[in-house]
Structure 1
């Protein structure tokens, strides 16, 4: 492995090689983080066609204790007899985050058993429904019209029309997006939507016999609402919905900052990326790597700007509304990252890995997934560290290295400060203050652009 590149990627940890602290717990955490970074380097630097076994062997010690899901085009992963890269063909609304036809998995136990001749492990999966898809379930249950009925019928078949081969589904992302509206007075729509999703588990056997399907259930509406309330109480305790809401607002803040910098056109893309990193540290108190990676793409640092960002490349009346929707799309990536790291149970069986899928009507979300092809998810149980690695991770790392060689390095080169950043909670007040200020600046920019056109 090229030593310069290895050190460059390790610099994302921004920790000195000589750890000054005598705190044993911090030292252990420091060592675990550095070891995980080496595994990330091995994956990011490896040739796209390199066998996963070769990537692991290049720095085996760094992988010990980790859990890794690795996308490959050399093998085929079947989920309920549908190949991973053909799920969209089975249902155009459903996409995988991973860029490949198959997935390979690493844990110490799997690796040891594989070397001995073979390893058996259990993979769980779920299709996460976004808000618009969840709303379509409510319309279906009430016999009302909804978007793209042909595609939606194919989703119904995938989730409940294949018997034991039907796909699991969840509505965590919907709950996170809709949470603030559940307690709104005189607004029954969120509860009715969740009730429809609960009733969907109780379709009559012939409900999907012919398109577009019939809203015939073995559970009444009142029973569905009771089940929805019970599920909502349980999931809110599990998901920590308030924390997830703040995280989503943090995503929105960074996208707003990036959009405003792009409109200003007063600096090079890399100079703007420096400001994004500073903003992330000051407002979120963290180096939000996924969001900074997206800012890198949004600013054009990677070359062509993905189509996903097309609606907000220039000032316009709908920019704020469009960007809010885009922040929810990015939040789906964050949700997938969290769910992939959860130790879930499929019935009575504990799953070794979880494969996140998503169902959406939104073409923009598909564009986002296409623009950010996911190569691997690396999970460290010792530090609760989860990291997505994309196909173009190395160009991003090179750009980030250049950005962080300046004054920011002094802020980040303190191991104690880095540990505190990882452990600290996001400040909702600080994020909301930054968003309000940025939204005012965006409105001013839109007004000025409109005036310029009028003149």
Structure 2
């Protein structure tokens, strides 16, 4: 639980987001406005028709021999935002004024495809879906962000700087271009506003600014490693630990409780489904095959873990309220696994804190509702007692070096299994 969301505030937000009557929602928020000071709420309301997000950036699929998925973190047709500032403006106006800031967050595969396309290298089966999507993006002049690509390369930026700079420059160049006609087949179908030299210069400037804050960068690298260790542990428990569903569930929750910063509810809910049926989670279903193909468990699982980390990255990106606006996470990917992962853990609401610039996300279905095995539910309840919560907050979790040691060991175990 985020520190700025107390149990009292959580209960209040639950009551507000369960309402469908707008007047009742405004009344509840207004009555509790002092408690909710500094908070911004973003949620989906039933029977509410939202016009927050333009039609041209809503969820869609561009199809060819493969697919490009434009995915929403929230269902845009029911999207509703509220804060003290919005409430005040609403009371003095018939319309609901919502400050919105949005960009399409492009995943690394998509950014890499943009680089290949501009260099004249074949995209294979991805060509048609990619060109349809980039035509849509450039025609509608939609803001795009390559943050996932930069962060995925953060740990090895020094040795990969030339490749990263070129790829990022081509991302900047293509997303600022304008299509000449109704279709894009080659780069000749685009009118560029940046020359190659200009895009390289701009990329160099932005990369230097981005990687200039060593403390933030190191935090992101550490967070990625924690997520990698968590996903590795889930797969290790499933394929290395022999036991019942509840034994596997207990093994995972113990790792979260004693070794990691806290209990990650999204990953816990997904792992529970995976332990029940290891074919039920698309992204994890063929992990054995991937390890055999790579001949390296850590390399195969690192790629999978990045998809899980992607959602934490979106939450971090969305929590930046420094411009006084709501950031709406929308992402673009060629990866069906990533799109599917977004679908299996729908979000009910998110709360942002203006001062702390943090975000708390609540799922549509509570963790208790998702754990339908009685023994596993009792384990869950045990680890959310006041005593256990206090223990987690006061216990120092594993150091980066200790996590690295466990990663190496579990990788070796899985290489032996497969």
- Shorter-chain TM-score bucket reads 0.7 to 0.9
Alignment equivalent of 1:131, drawn from 88, 103, 108: 108
Aligned partner of 1:7 in structure 2 is: none
> Per chain length, whose mean CA-contact separation is higher, i.e. which structure has more relative contact order (CA < 8 Å, sep 6+)?
1
Compute the displacement of 1:169 (Å): 0.5
Compute the displacement of 1:401 (Å): 6.1
Q: Map of 1:35-434 to 2, 5 A cutoff? A: 35-39=8-12, 41-42=14-15, 46=18, 50-51=20-21, 54=24, 61=32, 63-72=36-45, 74=47, 75-77=49-51, 79-82=53-56, 84=58, 86-88=59-61, 92-99=68-75, 101-115=77-91, 117-147=94-124, 148-162=126-140, 166-184=141-159, 188-203=162-177, 205=178, 207=180, 210-214=183-187, 217-237=192-212, 240-264=216-240, 266-300=242-276, 305-312=280-287, 317-318=292-293, 320-343=298-321, 350-381=323-354, 384-396=357-369, 402-406=378-382, 409=385, 412-414=388-390, 418=393, 427-434=399-406
Q: Unpaired runs of 5+ in structure 1?
A: 1-11, 14-28, 345-349, 447-455
Is the CA contact 2:321–2:354 (under 8 Å) kept in the aligned structure 1? no
Aligned mates of 2:244, 2:15 — CA distance in 1: 30
SS at match of 1:342: coil
Aligned mates of 1:100, 1:379 — CA distance in 2: 18
Compute the displacement of 1:51 (Å): 4.6
**TM-score normalized by the length of structure 1:** 0.76
CA distance 1:221–1:180, shift in 2 (3 Å): farther
Q: Unpaired runs of 5+ in structure 2?
A: none
Aligned partner of 1:445 in structure 2 is: 417
Aligned partner of 1:33 in structure 2 is: 6
- Report how many residues are paired: 400
